[in-house]
Structure 1
Amino acid sequence: MKTIARILKFAKMKTFAFKCIAIGAALALVASMCVAQLASIQLIDGRQMAQAATASRTSRVTLSAKRGRILDANGTVLAQSVERYTIVANPEAAQEFTPITCNKNNQDYCHQIDGKPVGVTGAAAVGRLLSKELGVSAMELGADLSISGQYVVLKKDVTPQVKRSIDNLNLGGIVWGELSSERIYSDGDLMGSLLGGVNDDGTGVAGIEQMENKVLTGTDGHQTYQRGNYGGEEIPGTMTESVAAKDGSDVHLTINRDVQWYVKKIMKEAKSSYGAAWAIGVVQDVQSGEIVALADSDEIEAGTDAAKMAASRAVSETFEPGSIGKVISASGYLQTGVHKMTDRFTVPNSVTENGQTFKDAFSHGDEHWTLAGILQQSSNNGMVIAGKNYTDEQRYEFLTKFGIGQSTGLDLPGESNGVLTNPSSWDLRTRNTVLFGQGYTVNALQLTNVVATLANKGVRQQQSIIKSVTNSDGKTTEAKHGEATRVVDEQVAADVINAMESVAENYSKFVKVDGYRMAAKSGTAEVAGANGSLSSIISDYSVVIPADNPRFVVTVVMKDPQGSYGGLTAGPVSAQICEFLMQKYEVPVSSPRTDAIPVTW
């Protein structure tokens, strides 16, 4: 029995030992596997995992470049980008948020609303804290913060003051501000569609904003660093790359804000007082070709959807110039030697040429006028009679030399070149109507430069509206402009200006500036109305002041004014602008006129 007992005891001990060995072997195997895995992690995959962890925390953040400013000729800011912030949040962090009740020991990091506990937790609590600062309901904010993910935009274009207030709410890691900018325009509708506007990405899409977009747009920079788990705050010492943003260049215009303001004011008043559909005013410096003011009566604020959708009427509206076009024909007559300004004509009440009958705007008997007198009286009949030896090719040549049917070179978005057809397409009537400003169309800028060319002794300057560009380093570069070209001889220009001064004297009861001589031409043309028939009127007036020492050309164009005739409507309006210019620029008064070319014989 003892032997059997020993055998059983030995067997049990053997079984227990076997189990221990088996368990030990298993544990050794597991330990070996752990050691192997640890070795693999540390020696083989450690670098990759560390790199992956670093990559998950590393962010490349764009540093937005500020868009350049648009300024007037004297440096007054017309458009600029100001510092703004986009307020964003981490919804997942917001949902885990538990506000800390304030006491005397934790004022620097607790949460309260108007001195009272927040009252809720999670996204609702964050919404309540932000509501007053953002001007958005707590319910709406709570909904925005209840979505999945770690990034949501709560509000754009927040001022730095609001951003600082949010920073003081002790919501670091949940809510933060990202730097952005907002384009603002200081003068509302002063330059409206002429300035245009930018889209949501800050890209110019209309007006000067579009025309100069490449210059105004800067180059974004960036920073690369590691962020904390929440909120995106930078982990100190982890910055690996930093490239500063380069702001866009400032664009300086030739526009003088004070003059622009006055012309804009006068255009609005003229539209109202004359019951016109619209009014356009242009002021150009004679010698430089710079546009000092370019305004219309439209009340469109820069930067608005309306400003982005519609081009400035001052550059897009085209019309027949009417009798102002006679100065082009008169210049051609003199330059080609067909006539002198003193040539004498007998002008009847009507003229028939190639089966086409022409009449003046007023009835008269046979009048004895010189070519200067034909301009002074604005006689269509006289221009047709004087043009008998002036060929179609010459008519077209001088219209093109003065810039009709061509771009002004300003490159303003929406600018129309007008229409000037080739002589081969002219019918028997059009070949003569072009002599007195009908049968082709212009914009107000083209018409102004026609008169400015004569005022500038026959030299046509390239008009300009961009004066210079100043980059972010402060370096200023003058804008390049096309070469000036001689259109007519100096004496020809002087004779036409002389006759235009007689025109101005003819209107002196309605259009004058005390102490200053003026050279002018009025125009009135029938144009198509809304029904397509010739039911509307364009009235325009272009004046050189002072006539004896030309400084400015002022052009005013009105559609359907009460009173119709350009000299009686657009004329007095232009005189208001001229008077302002003489005072503002302190232009010396004129010397008496002693060289008037005879207008009758």
Structure 2
Amino acid sequence: MKFLPKKYRLVAILAGSVLLFVILLGRLSWLQLVKGEELSQMASGIRVKDEVLKPVRGTIYDRNRNELVTSVPVNSVIADPSIIGDPAKEAARIAPLLDMKTGEIMKKLTSKGQYVLLKNNVDADTTDSLKKLGINGLFFEEKSRRSFRQPGMAAHMLGFVGLDNEGLNGLEKSFDKELRGVTGTLLIETDAQGRQLPQTVSRRIPPVPGSDLVLTMDQSIQFFVERELDRVVQENSPSRAVIMVADPKTGEILAMGTRPTFDPENWNKYPQSIWDKNPATLYNYEPGSTFKIITAAAALEEGVVKETDRFYDPGYIQVKGGKIYCWDRSGHGAESFAEGVANSCNPVYIQVGLKIGREKLYRYINGFGFGQSTGIDLPWEEKGVVKTKEKVTELDLATISIGQSVSVTPVQMLRALCAVANGGRLMQLHLVKSVNSSDGKVVKYFEPESDRQVISEATSRQLSKLLQKVVLEGTGKSAFVEGYRVAGKTGTAQVPEHGGYAQGRYVASFAGFAPADDPRIAVLVMVAEPKGGKYYGSEVAAPAFQAVARDTLRYLRVPEDPALPVPKDYIKETNPAPVPVASTKRVVPNVVGFPLDDALQALKTAGFYGRLEGKQGSVSEQKPPGGTILDRGGTVLIKVSPASTTGLKDQVVVPDLRGMTVKKAGMLLEEVGLNLNPYGSGLAARQSPAPGTKLSRNSTVIVEFVPPRG
């Protein structure tokens, strides 16, 4: 085989090298000049990490700026199984801290993929403990969760959020856009492992925190409502119940309570039928005699009846197509219209309704807002059921006049009641007073809004006097509040079923306002399908109205008039005795918020020993918590924190005052920087806000005192 001469070989190598260089240069030029921009963007996309910065969701306050719902920082714990060294060992270390089974953690750590969620909503202390383990492949995503300061209070009204912090129900949904804020962005250059490259510049667009809501609700009045709902449920076991309180002059909802209720922080642990249906806005029911308020208002406004007009009730009335009985089948005999109102006499109202006529009565039914949405600040609302006017027969007109053959929602009934109370103006009901930015500036303020004048002020005053007689002389005596003029109406209606009425199923209600001559509150109580034998509105709903109205009026410091008349045979309400505790066991008192000396004394009085963590200040934490049943002589660990280290010098924790005298409760509250608003006498039985709530200094705590048993 012949080889080229050496010089030719060198020329060939040189020519080949030059050609290769030209090709490479051309390729590089093409990449740089033609594809350069595209490739640069691709490289940046791989190198630059774009993180979404989630904003803090806004806080919801009551009208007095007490926190109802806020956001607290939490973490999601993430694992990358591909770099977990010893899954069995690490699972055993992680599981106790996350309160999970070791096998469950082990299964996740041995799964495929590089991103496995171990647990959501992990608090800061647990996160710190996990970080101290130093496990390679364990990561943490900062998030936040909603914290309800009074779990279960006004649950349907406040609503709840999902895992992504999006409002799913209640005000959380209605005002989701305002509460959620605006997301931010963080751009950083990272290496192949996702770590930020040194000496690189990050670009941060900060998130905008969500706006805060200031509600029309008053936490203390809501406490009265929740308390009475609990009593109603305990005594009557209804399928559902609603109590609402409003300012009739402004349409502001001061309280809205419902049963059954749920814990908004754990809403997904309850049946959907509970958390998805707010009975205040979604429950249609025949109102029965409370609807007679509308019939009376129409009759008086149209001048078709006078208070002195005479009627006769034999216990029933014959109307085309059927006989309609009075609730008192023995009949009321001869009576005036005013007496018929006090007696809630069906034949009187039916005669008046027929005299008003279909056209005029429907004008007032529509005028008072029935068959229409109220527009309240909640996501879903039923309109009630009002028959088409043209299809209404004489028998229909008769039954509508007494609150049958028509369905309403509790919010519709409350709105109409407010119009009767305030001089005839149909107000827009609302739950939100203002939307404020995170720095406290008012973004939007909701002014009271009147939709229309339904009846005249003169008719409103006249009807108010008639409804006062219902409470003083008629079916509403159980709603009487000593020291105040109360106007109202009881209601007892059967539950419709299959074109007729269900046997033994009723809706008891009471609608009233006080003081009748200058109303500060309008209250609706609706109890559906009570059990246990009692079902009349006078037995089930009126007593709840009395308790809520009494405590609310006193809380609002509305002056009492002891010279006002009282119903015949009126007996003052007796307070229920506290439930005794077995002598061998004791209930651990809640001493969170107590100054150290008072906490130790409270534990000693209850029969326990206190073991300290800290030297001076107030109790910030205790184990076991208040309410735990413990053997007498047991030890309670109390953690004491100096006020100066809490970072909340303007806030204090409300102590548990139950079982204290007025004097002792007052002294303790004064010591921690709060004021006492007592009612009743004896020992503290209930309080609002609840123990453990954080309040601004000089805030007021309402405490109900009851006589000690025996």
TM-score (norm 2): 0.71
Aligned counterparts of 1:186 and 1:282: Cα–Cα separation in 2: 21
What pairs with 1:470-481 in structure 2 (closer than 5 Å)? Answer: 470-476=436-442, 477-479=444-446
Distance in 2 (alpha carbons) for counterparts of 1:123 and 1:494? 77
Which of these residues, 175, 180, 189, is aligned with residue 217 of structure 1? Answer: 180
Shift of 1:370: 2.1
Cα gap change, 1:345 to 1:242, in 2 (>3 Å): same
Q: Report if aligned partners of 1:86, 1:153 keep a CA contact under 8 Å in 2.
A: yes
Instruction: Specify the alignment match of 1:449 in structure 2.
Output: 415
Q: Identify the residue that residue 74 of structure 2 maps to in structure 1.
A: 84
Q: Which residue of 2 aligns with 1:551?
A: 520
Which amino acid is 2:242 matched to?
Answer: I
Contact map agreement 1:124 1:142 (CA 8 A) in 2: yes
Q: 1:593 to 1:485 in 2, by over 3 A?
A: farther
Whether 2:227 is the aligned partner of 1:247: answer no
Aligned residue in 2 for 1:521: 489
Q: 1:348-371: CA deviations, max 9, x gaps?
A: 433223353232111446733222
Alignment partner of 1:195 is 2:158: yes
Shift of 1:33: 6.4
Distance 1:143 1:558, change over 3 A: closer
Q: Please tell me whether residue 437 in structure 1 is matched to residue 403 in structure 2.
A: yes
Deviations 1:414-446 (A, max 9, x none): 422211112211123111111111110111121
Distance 1:366 1:210, change over 3 A: closer
Q: Superposed, which structure 2 residues align to 1:388-427 within 5 Å? A: 388-427=354-393
Q: Using the alignment, how far apart are the partners of 1:440 and 1:210 within structure 2?
A: 30
Query: Alignment partner of 2:549: what SS?
Result: helix
Q: Is the 8 A contact 1:301 1:307 kept in 2?
A: no
Tell whether 2:46 aligns with 1:56.
yes
**1:311/1:413 contact within 8 Å kept:** no
Identify the residue that residue 326 of structure 2 maps to in structure 1: 360
Q: Which of 492, 502, 515 lines up with 1:534 in the alignment?
A: 502
After TM superposition, the structure 1 = structure 2 runs for residues 569-580 of structure 1, keeping only pairs within 5 Å, are 569-580=540-551
Q: 1:572 to 1:122 in 2, by over 3 A?
A: closer
Question: Does 2:424 match 1:458?
Answer: yes
Deviation at 1:454, TM superposition (A): 1.4
Letter in 2 for 1:574: F
Partner of 2:460: 493
In structure 2, relative to structure 1, the CA distance for the partners of 1:590 and 1:342 (3 Å cut) is farther
| Match among 223, 227, 231 for residue 269 of structure 1 | 231
Matched-pair contact (CA < 8 Å) for 2:354–2:397: no
Instruction: Tell me which moved more, 420-429 or 461-470.
Output: 420-429
Given that residues 63 and 216 in structure 2 are in contact (C-alpha distance below 8 angstroms), is that contact kept between their aligned partners in structure 1?
yes
Partner of residue 74 from structure 1, selected from 64, 80, 93: 64
Point out which structure has higher relative CO (alpha carbons under 8 A, 6+ apart): 1
* Equivalent residue, structure 2, for 1:5: none
How many residues end up aligned between the 2 structures?
Answer: 553
Judge conservation of contact 2:310–2:336 (CA < 8 Å) in 1.
yes
Which of 92, 117, 120 is residue 156 of structure 1 equivalent to?
Answer: 120
Q: In 1, are the aligned partners of 2:354 and 2:398 still within 8 Å (CA)? A: no
Determine the C-alpha separation between the residues in 2 that align with 1:302 and 1:428.
47
Letter of the 2:260 partner, please give it.
Answer: D
Partner SS, residue 80 of structure 1: strand
Letter of the 1:540 partner, please give it: S
Aligned-pair distance for 1:400? Answer: 1.2
Identity across matched positions, percent? 26
- Which of 535, 560, 567 in structure 2 is aligned with 1:589? 560
Unaligned runs of at least 5 residues, structure 1 = 1-11, 96-120, 597-601
Q: Is the 8 A contact 2:91 2:106 kept in 1?
A: yes
2:662 — aligned with what?
none
Task: Mark the CA change 1:166 to 1:402 in structure 2 (over 3 Å): closer, same or farther.
Answer: same
Partner residue, 2:627: none
Distance 1:147 1:38 in 2: 46
Secondary structure in structure 2 of the residue aligned to 1:436: coil
CA–CA distance in 2 between the matches of 1:332 and 1:168? Answer: 73
Alpha-carbon deviations, 1:225-268, whole Å to 9, x = none? 201322x3322443353211112211222122222222122112
Q: Give the RMSD, CA atoms, in angstroms.
A: 3.1
1:151 offset after TM fit, Å? 4.0
Q: Rate the CA distance shift 1:58–1:147 in 2: closer, same or farther, 3 A.
A: farther
Judged with a 3 Å threshold, the aligned counterparts in structure 2 of structure 1 residues 34 and 280 are, in CA distance, closer, same or farther, namely same
CA displacement at 1:405 relative to structure 2 = 1.4
Alignment of 1:223-234 (within 5 A): 223-230=186-193, 232-234=194-196
CA distance in 1, matches of 2:99, 2:331: 77
Give the letter aligned to residue 161 of structure 1.
D
Is 1:258 matched up with 2:220?
yes
| Cα separation, 1, equivalents of 2:130 and 2:15 | 57
Q: Distance in 2 between matches of 1:175 and 1:24?
A: 60
1:223 CA drift (Å): 1.5
Distance 1:422 1:201 in 2: 44
Identify if the C-alpha distance between structure 1 residues 586 and 399 changes in structure 2 by more than 3 Å, giving closer, same or farther. Answer: same
Contact 1:548 / 1:591 at 8 angstroms: preserved in 2?
no
Higher strand share: 2
Paired residues of 1:193 and 1:301 also in contact (CA < 8 A) = no
CA contact (8 A) 1:196 1:307 kept: no
Equivalent residue, structure 2, for 1:372: 338
Alpha-carbon distance between aligned partners in 2 of 1:20 and 1:91, rounded to the nearest angstrom: 61
Question: Which structure has the bigger radius of gyration?
Answer: 1
Following superposition, the deviation at residue 519 of structure 1 comes to 0.9
- SS of aligned partner of 1:389: helix
Match in the other structure for 1:204: 167
